[in-house]
Amino acid sequence: MSKLYEKILNKSAIIGVMGMGYVGLPLAVEKARAGYNVIGFDIQQKRVDMINEGKNYIGDVNNEELKQLVNEKRLRATTNFEELENCDVISICVPTPLDKFKQPDLSYIIQTAEDISKRLHREQLIILESTTYPGTTEEVVLPILLKSGLEVGKDFYLAFSPERVDPGNIRYKTRNTPKVVGGVTSECTKYAKALYENVLDAPVFPVSSPKTAEMSKILENTFRLVNIALVQEMTKVAEKMNVNIWEVIDAASTKPFGYMPFYPGPGIGGHCIPIDPFYLSYKAREYDLHLMLVEQAGQVADEMPYYVVQRLGDILNEFKKPFNGSKILVLGVAYKGNIDDMRESPALKVIEILERKKAEVYYFDPFIPEFSLNGKSYKSIDLDKEVLKKFDGAIITTAHTIGIDYEYIIENLPFVFDTKNVLKNFKNRENIYVL
């Protein structure tokens, strides 16, 4: 038994987590909770300071648990990457965005791998967790680490284990979500599997390679993109046929096999679904393949905010109001309900389109007090009666169920356009319009 493997099993290994965001901080907390000493690395001093003060900034992390782990010196954070040399295990949880041409931006992964490579030593396990295209671990990260002169599978160990974070999910958190691991060699897989079996209250599934693990993550989110795009297209047809798409979905959901519900809305948000499938589409072109279904699903999703604004225009027309000069209240700018995450939120695109049409746009979101878009600053307004009566209407773009008194809003506005079906149980629907 190697020293590293023994350290992993007896929890004496020091674990570094690079990137203290929506993936990294919950993961660091779980590893510390399991009994390991954990160092969180981040380039943002504010995040580092908050962690070291026991202050939480991620909704899925328990405030008291974080404070306790910091007080017990199980978890701390730093901006000093020299401390990577002290780590036995390093998890990479850095962002993997798309550029404006929807091509992968691996600059964060590359820079992180370079930082590790400079300090890589024998008996270290490196696990890439950032979602990326199949082949990244072996084609991008591994060559950088090999600059150290060390041999993978013998001197150090490298694996990929995709993050599965669903912000705001009440049932499934990092702790109880099954984990997939795929190592460059069988020994790499063995070490990564042993680590997560010691950390999680969920099964760990080893696969034959990092590429398989990378592909599994892409498949999960491509499945969701394609099915959401399907229901978005059906929404447009249903509206033309004067059929309530939400009732259709509820009816189809009564089938106990061969179907699962997906729901429409103003678009698709979050880090995963609008981004991950295009990593695969990008990689497929290397093999002279074009993933037409993926690309068309992405196009459908991209068009949805425009369709929603067009529907809003039709509603305004009923009230003899043009876009130009109308005061519109946007309810929710987070990408999903009851969280403070704005990444790729379709509400932002809706706001952008409305402002191009010369509407006066304001917003309310109990989870996001302020934000910036295209150089302009926005602040969540106070929803008192006098303020509401100045608006021509509102559009619900986020399914918040906490912190919004919808009944009060409906009573004081000419209409509310509900794109998320959060008002489905309201009996008085005279001024409620549904997507």
Residue 87 is among the residues annotated as catalytic for this protein: no
Backbone angles phi, psi at 38, to 5 degrees: -125, 135
Q: What is the pLDDT of residue 179?
A: 97
Q: Return the closest-CA partner of residue 158 out of 134, 206, 190.
A: 190
Range in 4-8, 266-270, 416-420 the model is least confident about = 266-270
145-178 pLDDT, tens digit each: 999 999 999 999 999 999 998 888 888 988 999 9
φ/ψ region of 427 (left if φ > 0, alpha if ψ in -120 to 50, else beta) reads: alpha
Alpha-carbon gap, residue 380 to 331, rounded angstroms: 10
Confidence of residue 429 (pLDDT cuts 50, 70, 90): confident
Residue 271 has pLDDT above 80, yes or no: no
Q: Return the closest-CA partner of residue 166 out of 251, 271, 250.
A: 271
Q: What is the pLDDT of residue 137?
A: 97
Q: What is the pLDDT of residue 102?
A: 75
Q: Return the closest-CA partner of residue 214 out of 148, 104, 130, 92.
A: 130
Alpha-carbon gap, residue 343 to 302, rounded angstroms: 15
What is the 3 state secondary structure string of the chain? CCHHHHHHHHCCCEEEEECCCCCHHHHHHHHHHCCCEEEEECCCHHHHHHHHCCCCCCCCCCHHHHHHHHHCCCEEEECCHHHHHHCCEEEECCCCCECCCCCECCHHHHHHHHHHHCCCCCCEEEEECCCCCCCHHHHHHHHHHHCCCCCECCCEEEEECCCCCCCCCCCCCCCCCCEEEEECCHHHHHHHHHHHHHHCCCCEEECCCHHHHHHHHHHHHHHHHHHHHHHHHHHHHHHHCCCCHHHHHHHHCCCCCCCCCCCCCCCCCCCCCCCHHHHHHHHHHHHCCCCHHHHHHHHHHHHHHHHHHHHHHHHHHHCCCCCCCCEEEEECCCCCCCCCCCCCCHHHHHHHHHHHCCCEEEEECCCCCEEEECCEEEECCCCCHHHHCCCCEEEECCCCCCCCCHHHHHHCCCCEEECCCCCCCCCCCCCEEEC
Q: What is the pLDDT of residue 104?
A: 84
Q: Return the closest-CA partner of residue 180 out of 126, 130, 216.
A: 216
Which among 87, 93, 188, 272 is annotated as catalytic?
272
315-350 pLDDT, tens digit each: 999 999 999 999 999 999 999 999 999 989 999 999
224-262 pLDDT, tens digit each: 999 999 999 999 999 999 999 999 999 999 999 999 999
Number of Cβ atoms within 10 Å of the Cβ of 320: 6
Confidence of residue 65 (pLDDT cuts 50, 70, 90): very high
Residue 107 has pLDDT above 90, yes or no: yes
